[in-house]
A and B are shown apart, each in its own frame.
Chain A
Amino acid sequence: MRTGRRYPRFPSLPGVKPGEERPAVLLFFFFFLITAPFSIFKSIRDASFLTELGSENLPLAYATAFFVGLAVALQAKLQTRAPKRFILSAGLLFFSLTGAAFALLLRISGSWMVLAYWVWANIMVVSLMTQFWMVVNEVFNPREAKRLIGFIGSGGILGGIAGGLLTGFLSVRFPLGIMFLGSVFLLAALPVVMKLTASSQPAGEKTELCPAEEEDLPGVKRTEGFHSCFRTVLHDPYLRLLAGMVMLTGLLSTFIDWQSKAVIERTVSGSLTAFFGWFNAGLLVFSFLLQLLGTSRIVNRFGIRSLLLFYPLIILVCTVGLSLWPVLGLAVALKGSDKSLSYSINQSARELLYFPVPPRQRVRAKIFIDMFLNRLSRTAGAIVLLAVFALPWLPAFKTVGLLSILALAVWVGLNLKAASAYVHIVKEKLRGRWDRGDRMVEATVDVDFTKTVFDLLESRRRSPELFSLHLFDLIRKKKLTAEVRGMLLSEPGDARFSALGGLFDAGAEGATAASGLETLEADLEENVREIMGLDVYRQVMEEYLARALEGKGKEDRVTRMEIAKALGFMPSRSPLVGRLGNLLEDEAEDVVRYALESAGRLARRDFIPAVVRRLEHPRLSREAEEALEKFGPRVTGTLLDILLDPSEPLETRKKAASVLGRIGGQEAADGLLAELAAAPEDLREAILDALDRIRSGSDEIRFDREAVLARLEEQFRRTYRWFLSLSPSGTGSARRAGGEDHALRSGWASGFVLGIFKLLGLIHSREDVFKAYKNWLSGTRESVAYALELLDNSLSKSLRDSLFPILDDHSLRERLRLFRGRLKSAGGMKP
């Protein structure tokens, strides 16, 4: 998040970059001010329920979640009709006043009031939490949120701790005062919300909540509301997955809550409110430490897939333990793990899963899933519990433990599926493919055809033989199209072509004529081939060639061009073809050009040295490369020898690498990769490009992963060193060259970065890697975020650690520091 606006200076905050401080800090406080009262209300809620109604009636309380869902649905309806700012403020005011009212009403007591309070507290937390996460989603993109989630989340955990501690200290002596204090916290959140909704995002970069141009899902009308939210989830497989995960989480939490509270009710003596206050504070201290020190690191280190497995595995261990030994310590451990991990890792993972969903759908999905389905799952949990209680022969406690384990198993499966779907959606978010320029030209333009047609037209002014030879070339390649024939016949005054007369004008007269033309062309090709194979032809031509190639005058240059072209059509073993060796050394470039073309066509080994020598020639190197490419894998060994030979001119070695890239094959790939290690800087780019070309042409070529990783490490170091050498203090050449971002994206350091991506493409999906590269190059906030998100989920940690200091948005000073740090660390980059 960049901003052109100046905000007050904040001290350095973990994971917060310049420009992000204001929204991050506001969200931190917002979260604090809604979790602190909830921690208070929750302790009172649990204690008063267990005291008045007992744990055996807990399923009744869980079942009220359905009413919470209905209330939330009503809020969803309101949300579409009123500004976000109003909804947030009105909600805070409403819960603050009703909280104060309940403080008085609970004193009147009565079991129905305890139940009403339970429902009210749940509505409050669901409503405010959903609002909070919606704001986070709007303000930050996935990349930013991933980085900031530790800091912002810790605000909520600190609030919970504060609320818990206050309850623990004050609930015995000031039971009424502690309830009013909860309402005060909610009132205090009002100005924070006002500031946040007024300037949560820098101008010009705001992500629209419901962009006007965004298409609705099929069947989903533009009118918002609960029904449309439901249909949005129903029509989207990914959202259905998320819904399933939330449903199972709710079920699990209900089972865990009942199991742990049943043990707490039985074993705790004294004030239950104070116990829950201390308990909530204690578990949130743990959550806070986990959040501040661990969540972001775990997210960054393990990625979304591992993150989603963290919570169920720990819960599994605790559930098995409590089911076997129902003691207070294990009850606290299970409930504590559930809550602390729910607030930190599980919540972070779930919120991350929402980020790639388009804003409009995201809002609808969150309304339905987080605000309604989440509650419904508690009701479902309650129904299951009541069903278990209704079967007296079942040991309720252990049965619920078993159901928890079953739900966990399904949940792990859903999580893994969701993680894969997440990466897939991020990929879809990335715009466009990255195709190599040369491959695009090859795919869209028939370069060989175009060149032959141009040569054909050009040869008109040179000689009839040269013209005919080019015409024959087109016929051989089956490319004497109607358009070309039409073009040639459009100049009837041309005597040389009119000599060929109506041979080729039949094509315009319909299918039958065209078919006749094809026969004529086939006969012609066969005739020429047979004639050139005749002994008498060789005798006649030997004498002619000896005579023609003796002269070196201007007149003879065209003749030598004709000969060079004609030799290419002869059988490769014909003694006449030997003459081509002299023509490859000819002084006239035109002659050599034709000779190179023929040498490529004939692909005789004895021409290779002469063709290779032409790689050095600035105006003939392209033809030499094309000729060598036609030799195919037979010339790979020779080209690798040239590539390895430091005595060869650098340009020749570069061209050799280029041809190896065009020829491709496993031998070329292995040789190029091996040579990359020792190649001088000037040669590396050509080798990297050749490797990328091979990779782009075939998925069957295997690149040695260890070797590629080693080359990647070198490439990273080169990039760091190069950058540091040109900007030692952050005010050097990098800045003068137009800024460090420009330098890495399109300036003097961009070649290094492109090289990194080419290497990454050898061992990962090339399409994904270059999609990410293309989006990163675009430099826009969203494109860069999704590009990095894809790489984050595709690359190993060691690669990410090396790559992200280059790709991430950093200040010059920070980037220099990171580069220096990377150079100092001696760790390798194991996959």
Chain B
Amino acid sequence: MEIKRRDKNDIVIFDVEGEIRRTDITEATLHELVKDQLEHGHKHILLNFDRVEFIDSFGVGEILASYISTHNLGGKLKIARISKKLYLVFQITMLTKVLEIFDEEESALQSFLKE
């Protein structure tokens, strides 16, 4: 897994690439990276999964932990361009009711601006 960070309009965007799974842990996990940004005062986080091939339950756990951390600090975590399969998993687990998920990065960014 490879995670790249970029900023746009005070929104931190994490571009995730590869597979997010328990057996493929990087030096810093997604949750640690998000927490790091939150500690630096960045409370608007967007996770772009456009190039993610696979996410297992560990990966979903990372997303949820990131969501809780952001939420607890009064921030917002949104997700864009997830695969159809992951979307189905989120629907079945009813996480679509909790997480804000967008088809496109642009529409996600726009939603931050509207708040």
Contact = CB atoms under 8 A, between A and B. Distances in A.
A472 B92 contact: yes
B84 A566 contact: no
B21 to A, nearest CB: 11
Interface in A577-628: none
A468 B92 contact: yes
Nearest to B87: A499
B89 interface: yes
B84 A531 contact: no
B96 interface: yes
B97 A544 contact: yes
B94 A531 contact: no
Interface string A524-563: 1011101111101101110010001000000000010011
Contacts of A467: 91
Contact of B91 (A464, A527, A537): A464
Which of A468, A534, A540, A541 lies at the interface centre, i.e. has the most chain B CB atoms within 10 A of its CB?
A540
Given A536-B64, A540-B67, A468 B97 contact: no
A464 B96 contact: yes
A217 interface: no
Interface string B28-66: 000000000000000000000000000011001100110
A670 interface: no
A358 interface: no
A527 B61 contact: no
Contacts of A646: none
Contacts of A548: 97
Contact of A534 (B57, B67, B91, B96): B57
A516 to B, nearest CB: 12
B68 A540 contact: yes
B60 A534 contact: yes
A675 B15 CA distance: 69
A569 B85 CA distance: 18
Interface string B62-86: 0011011000000000000000110
B10 to A, nearest CB: 25
Contacts of B92: 465, 468-469, 471-472, 524, 528, 566, 569
Interface in A430-472: 464-465, 467-469, 471-472
B30 to A, nearest CB: 12
A501 interface: yes
A13 interface: no
B84 A503 contact: yes
Contacts, number: 85
A534 B64 contact: yes
Given A503-B84, A531-B60, A536 B68 contact: yes
B110 interface: no
A528 B93 contact: yes
Contacts of B91: 464-465, 467-469
Nearest to A469: B92
Contact of A537 (B93, B96, B97): B93
A545 to B, nearest CB: 9
B18 to A, nearest CB: 17
Nearest to A498: B84
A464 B92 CA distance: 9
Contact of A500 (B84, B96, B97): B84
A520 interface: yes
Which of A527, A530, A541 lies at the interface centre, i.e. has the most chain B CB atoms within 10 A of its CB?
A527
B65 A536 contact: yes
A145 to B, nearest CB: 70
B57 A530 contact: yes
B113 interface: no
A429 B94 CA distance: 61
Contacts of A559: 97
Contact of B56 (A471, A499, A530): A530
Contacts of A524: 85, 88-89, 92
A503 B65 contact: no
Contacts of B87: 499-500
Contacts of B3: none
A503 B57 contact: no
Contacts of A527: 56-57, 60, 89
Given A527-B56, A531-B60, 13 more contacts: A465-B97, A499-B88, A500-B87, A524-B89, A524-B92, A526-B57, A528-B92, A528-B93, A541-B98, A544-B94, A544-B98, A563-B94, A566-B94
13 contacts: A469-B91, A472-B88, A503-B84, A503-B88, A524-B85, A530-B57, A531-B57, A532-B93, A537-B60, A537-B93, A540-B67, A540-B68, A569-B92
| 9 closest Cβ pairs, A-B complex | A530-B57, A468-B91, A536-B64, A472-B92, A501-B84, A531-B57, A534-B61, A536-B65, A566-B94
